[in-house]
Copies of this chain bind each other. A is one copy, B any other.
Amino acid sequence: MLTLFHHPLLPACRFVRLSFGEYGEELALIEEKPWLRRKEFLTLNPAASLPVLLAEGDQPIVGATVIAEYVDETRGVLKRDKRLFVEDPLARAEIRRLVDWYLVKTEADVTRHLVRERVLKPIMGSEYGGGAPDSTAIRAARANVKQHLKYTNWLAGTRNWLAGTRLTYADMAAAATLSVLDYMGEVSWGDYPAAKDWYTRMKSRPSFRPLLADRVRALSPVSHYADLDF
């Protein structure tokens, strides 16, 4: 079994867990607090970022998109119609664009700030940058979240799955991100019916179950978080 260093409320880590879940492969999870900059963890990843996968031979693989490519090259290519990626280079580019959209752009505009202020700072300790949440950062992130939900709603309303006709890494990245926002109660689903319909389908997949059981110390999930009918 491979090992994943992760945090339960980081979208990039959830993306990797969902992808392995879709391939029916269990991971040993180690919860890492990257702000502590543990020496052993820095040896694996000098960037001190999450996620890090210990692959075959305990070789560290750093970063969600790098892990996704590795998983595709070593597993996905054998999965036929269950593969989360496709053959055509232009279609691959569209999947990768959407993965970056959620794990880089949505992360920078919205998710990183809300997770830091609402989930991490309360537990970080002041010597690591913890403390009271910054309400300006929260307000800015909440102003941005609408654009990302609107875009997801448009994608979900236009295509069967977010990158086209089949389930791909793009759906994993979007679902990982929206599941974190949903945990924190930041999604007004009623305004985005197509996104809600797509998310309902994602949420009922077996790969999603472990995520719906996640809890973090600083913040309980909204009441509908684990409901398949929300």
Contact = CB atoms under 8 A, between A and B. Distances in A.
Contacts of A62: 93, 97, 100
A101 B47 CA distance: 8
A73 interface: yes
Contacts of A207: none
A63 B100 contact: yes
Interface string A55-81: 110010111011101100110000000
A69 B55 contact: no
A46 B89 contact: no
A70 B47 CA distance: 26
A61 B101 contact: no
A101 B48 CA distance: 11
Nearest to A108: B108
B151 A66 contact: no
Contacts of A28: none
Copies in the complex: 2
A205 interface: no
Interface of A: 46-47, 49, 55-56, 59, 61-63, 65-67, 69-70, 73-74, 89-90, 92-93, 96-97, 100-101, 104-105, 151
Contacts of A93: 55, 59, 61-62, 66-67, 69-70
B151 A46 contact: yes
Contacts of A105: 47, 49
Contacts of A63: 96-97, 100
Contact of A69 (B47, B56, B96): B96
Contacts of A66: 93, 96-97, 100
A93 B63 CA distance: 9
B92 A69 contact: yes
Contact of A70 (B49, B59, B65, B92): B92
A146 to B, nearest CB: 14
**Interface hub of A46, A47, A59, A93 (most chain B Cβ within 10 A):** A93
